[in-house]
Amino acid sequence: MSAAAFLQQAITFLPILLKGAVVTVQVTVLSFVLSSVIGLVLALMRLSPVRPVATMGASIVNLIRGLPIIVQLFYGSFENAVGNAAHEACGLKLEKSSLPAMRNSTVRIVSKRV
């Protein structure tokens, strides 16, 4: 491959790579914020003086910490596939998200009115 051909391909694919980098940063920030909020809520539940709330918080933390991450990933992907099929079977229409960063990866549910 000549240098001119390489530069032409680099110029062609650079915008796509930059969009991917922007989406990666957006997903990272969103994950950080959501995990911080969920972690704070679970920590406060564990510190609660109300025994059932503290027990539930400790149980959730122990369950998440005890399951291997691959099992959690399989469960999440399986639930997503089953959930999409169930929504379609119930007559719910799935549409692509309107968020620019998530347009190709997420769906929102819009019910059909009869």
Structure tokens, 55: 């027990």
90 versus 110: the higher-pLDDT residue is: 90
pLDDT of residue 93: 62
Number of other residues whose CB lies within 10 A of the CB of residue 45: 19
Q: CA 37, CA 7: separation in Å to the nearest integer?
A: 44
Give per-residue pLDDT as tens, 70-82: 888 887 777 777 7
What does the pLDDT average to over 11-26? 92
pLDDT band at 86 (very low <50, low <70, confident <90, very high): low
Q: Distance between CA atoms of 42 and 2, rounded to whole angstroms?
A: 57
Identity of the residue numbered 32: F
According to the model, what pLDDT value does residue 71 have?
85
State the pLDDT at residue 95: 57
Phi, psi of 110 (to 5 degrees): -125, 120
pTM of the model: 0.58
Mean pLDDT, residues 86-90: 68
The secondary element (H helix, E strand) that includes residue 92 is strand 92-96
Range 2-26 average pLDDT: 90
- Report the percentage of the chain scoring pLDDT > 90: 39
Mean pLDDT of the chain: 80
Q: Between the CA of residue 113 and those of 27, 30, 87, 93, what are the distances in Å?
A: 33, 33, 14, 10
Whether the CB-CB separation of 48 and 54 falls below 8 Å is answered with yes
